[in-house]
Structure 1
Amino acid sequence: MPLDAADLDIPMRSAWLLLGMAGLVLLAISAAWALAIERAWGGRPVIPTRPGRPVPWGGPQVFASFFLWQFATLVAASLLRARRGPDAEPKLVEAMGAVALINLLVLIALPGLLGLWNRARASDFGLSGGGGRIGRDVLLGVVSAVFCLPLVYSVQFMAILIWPPTAHPLQEMLFEERSPWVMVLAFVSAVIFAPAAEELLFRGILQGWLEKRFGVTRTAIAEDRETDRDSIDLQPGLDPGVASLTALVVPAAIFALVHFGQWPAPLPLFVLAIALGLLYRRTKSIVAPIAAHATFNGLSTVGMIVLVLILPEAEPEAVPVPGPAEPGISAPGEGEAEETSGPPQAGESGHSEARSIRRSHPNVESV
């Protein structure tokens, strides 16, 4: 449903707020690009490369990590369906809360399991070196995300010229609930838990293992007596360029595919994932990718919240804001909610009917 004149009746104060936010984002993008150009012009690497030892886990542990993540997601989806009943409509707030809990479980359980299974340490995730290094990585991640915004959003807007966008479930929840607590839940889930859990899985665990397997950039630190170079299992006979590209593209492609329910979002998210992978490769830490991912999600979430506040009558499909990079739980199959919704009753608006139809989307809760 396109925006109409009533939807665009924005108070002057809100209009100035939007212009101010847009101006700040453009200023930040300009500063990030100027910094990158200045470093490249001076012959310095845009992102300095750090040494690091190969991660201790292997393929079975990578498979087990992703299996546990998906198993927890399926269990949560089954519990939500059982609680709703066969004819109930999806509850987006419940799904968002479940996704947040799953991501929190991932952050707690997987490092612990890898520590027990492979004696993984904080340094294997780049979480060592003191607060100074972590602070620098956070700043690097924020600047990198701002630098990539024009690239990611350009792909997003070119994609929606070809395919009609699917409203992001987080966006739908914000437009439907319009509660301060729902806004807090959306921010915590999309900006804190989701980036940390996904970067742990896709960059730290998966890409870290692929880089070890293909011998890309992770070399053992000489003074680390616990690392035996001869025991590192590298893929023989693979061209270094192919190995480097494979270790970068495979996690990015899988990351994009798990967001397939919000098509065409996987296209810009693939670009974002490549940038996150490069950050991880250069820093040997998940801190910078988490910060970059959180910055991207944060800007998207704040943009959605602002639009909810100033466009109270708009439908989420009419507002082409790129959604956060956050997959999650699937709703009932297509048509379930539509079969039970029926025509709008007396006193109900067309917006209610649109929400019922929109909720029938099979991925409406993929947050």
Structure 2
Amino acid sequence: MGQILFGFAVLCLMALLLVICISGWSWSLRQLLRGEPILRQEAGQPISWGLIDIVATILIALTLMAGFQGIAMAVTGAKLPIKEESLDAVQQAAMILAFSGAEILSLLAVSGLIVVRGYGLQLFGQRGEKFFADLLLGIAAFGMLVVPTLILQAILAYLKPYEHPLIDMLVKDKSVPMAVASVAAAVVAAPLFEEFFFRGLFQGWLQDTVDGRLKVSNVLLGRVRWLSSDDAPPTETETVEQASEHEIITAVAAASEGENPFHSPIAAPAVPTTEYESPEVVRQRNVLQICGPILLSASFFALMHLGQGLAPIPLFFLALGLGYLYQRTRRLTPCVVVHFLLNGQSMALLLIQVFVLGEDAALIAN
């Protein structure tokens, strides 16, 4: 009976996702046929981090992982060399939690280094004012991306079985500590850290580099407010394109010389500020500037999942969608929502099969 109910629930979920997927792609196709983009390019400040921050994230993460796993070994009594078959459930859960904790702490550390430069984090919006809109956008994007990703993954699984060490350990031990650690790693740490690194730091840095929005020194070292001669960026209540004071005075003077002394001053032409992306910059992007950052970040994201069967192939196409989301919105919230929902639904189905139905599973937990 349990298997029947579980199968029915899965079918209902897939039907719902299929409806969202077909509706979303149909609307997107109509947009493209009208000559309109699927998502309009939103304005955003040039990033304030550089190549040094990307390297620092990798070094900090590796250092913290080694340190946290050393602590986990000391607490649980695990011995070197660490082998999966030699660890009990508690030791394996401790290692997974150490790995996840290192990812979250390295994210916070690098975020702090970026914030202290004076430009803000610039990853989730200035004050989170678009959080709920980004949440809905992420849910819609999840429905559009999850169905083709799962279908492609299911097809590839016939060629080579899907493999994931987290799934293997959970299926083998079927313990509560392992379940908690797996959820923390797959549903919390992975979406936050991977989107922060691959989409935010790496793709954001690549995009502004190829767009020419950064000086050579900024490309390498990032931007620091108190060392920069640039003016402070406009507030959220100001428009993206502001007219300079000199042009306003010139326009008013020109209007006052007209025949009608009561004629309203002519509005000064908008001047794109160097702090924000103007529509002209977006329209002038070539193919390399549009596709290059997305393709590179998606490729590295897929390569990070080597050793999991043929999973890097569907994950590459998933990452293309995530990269497009970030490029158009300049915010990570929609990407994190998609990643969270994808891993969350996979982990939920896996836990139900392992703990409720008592069967081994081969579902996906990216």
Structure 2 length-normalised TM: 0.72
Counterpart for residue 278 of structure 1: 324
Amino acid at match of 1:57: W
Counterpart for residue 8 of structure 1: none
Counterpart for residue 62 of structure 2: 70
For residues 86 and 65 of structure 1, what CA distance do their matches in structure 2 show? 26
Q: Secondary structure at the match of 1:269?
A: helix
Q: Secondary structure at the match of 2:307?
A: helix
* Among 190, 193, 208, the residue aligned to 2:186: 190
* Among 35, 40, 53, the residue aligned to 1:48: 40
Amino acid at match of 1:244: I
Gaps of 5+ in 2: 215-232, 234-239, 245-271, 278-283
For residues 173 and 242 of structure 2, what CA distance do their matches in structure 1 show? 55
Q: Secondary structure at the match of 1:320?
A: coil
CA spacing shift, 1:217–1:146, aligned 2, 3 Å: farther
Counterpart for residue 267 of structure 2: none
Structure 1 length-normalised TM: 0.72
Is structure 2 residue 301 aligned with structure 1 residue 251?
A: no
Flag the structure with larger Rg: 2
For residues 210 and 107 of structure 1, what CA distance do their matches in structure 2 show? 19
Is structure 2 residue 140 aligned with structure 1 residue 143?
A: yes
Gaps of 5+ in 1: 1-11, 233-237, 325-367
Counterpart for residue 364 of structure 2: 322
What do the CA deviations read for 1:130-151 (whole angstroms, capped 9, x no partner)?
44x1111112112212211222
CA spacing shift, 1:48–1:152, aligned 2, 3 Å: same
Q: Secondary structure at the match of 1:260?
A: coil
For residues 62 and 320 of structure 2, what CA distance do their matches in structure 1 show? 23
Amino acid at match of 1:229: T
Amino acid at match of 2:80: P
* Among 267, 274, 277, the residue aligned to 1:229: 274
Q: Does structure 2 retain, via aligned residues, the 8 Å contact 1:96–1:189?
A: yes
For residues 99 and 134 of structure 1, what CA distance do their matches in structure 2 show? 28
Q: Does structure 1 retain, via aligned residues, the 8 Å contact 2:56–2:110?
A: no
For residues 113 and 129 of structure 1, what CA distance do their matches in structure 2 show? 18
Q: Secondary structure at the match of 2:199?
A: helix
CA spacing shift, 1:299–1:205, aligned 2, 3 Å: same
What do the CA deviations read for 1:339-364 (whole angstroms, capped 9, x no partner)?
xxxxxxxxxxxxxxxxxxxxxxxxxx
User: Post-superposition shift, 1:187?
Assistant: 2.1
Amino acid at match of 2:138: G
CA spacing shift, 1:175–1:224, aligned 2, 3 Å: farther
What do the CA deviations read for 1:8-50 (whole angstroms, capped 9, x no partner)?
xxxx133213312321232133124214413542645433331
User: Post-superposition shift, 1:79?
Assistant: 5.2
Q: Secondary structure at the match of 1:229?
A: coil
Is structure 2 residue 113 aligned with structure 1 residue 127?
A: no
For residues 177-216 of structure 1, what are the structure 2 equivalents within 5 Å? 177-215=173-211
For residues 120 and 142 of structure 2, what CA distance do their matches in structure 1 show? 27
CA spacing shift, 1:92–1:264, aligned 2, 3 Å: farther
CA spacing shift, 1:119–1:188, aligned 2, 3 Å: same
For residues 212 and 112 of structure 2, what CA distance do their matches in structure 1 show? 26
What do the CA deviations read for 1:184-243 (whole angstroms, capped 9, x no partner)?
33223311222011111111111100000001899x944599x9739x9xxxxx982123
Counterpart for residue 8 of structure 2: 19
Counterpart for residue 108 of structure 1: 108
For residues 306 and 313 of structure 1, what CA distance do their matches in structure 2 show? 9
For residues 217 and 301 of structure 1, what CA distance do their matches in structure 2 show? 40
* Among 10, 28, 34, the residue aligned to 2:17: 28
Q: Does structure 2 retain, via aligned residues, the 8 Å contact 1:92–1:169?
A: no
For residues 270 and 172 of structure 1, what CA distance do their matches in structure 2 show? 23
Is structure 2 residue 297 aligned with structure 1 residue 297?
A: no
CA spacing shift, 1:87–1:137, aligned 2, 3 Å: closer
CA spacing shift, 1:162–1:24, aligned 2, 3 Å: closer
Q: Secondary structure at the match of 1:84?
A: coil
* Among 76, 79, 85, the residue aligned to 2:79: 85
Q: Matched residues, percent identical?
A: 24
User: Post-superposition shift, 1:173?
Assistant: 2.9
For residues 306 and 62 of structure 2, what CA distance do their matches in structure 1 show? 15
For residues 349 and 212 of structure 2, what CA distance do their matches in structure 1 show? 38
Q: Does structure 2 retain, via aligned residues, the 8 Å contact 1:155–1:268?
A: yes
For residues 46 and 87 of structure 1, what CA distance do their matches in structure 2 show? 51
User: Post-superposition shift, 1:77?
Assistant: 4.5
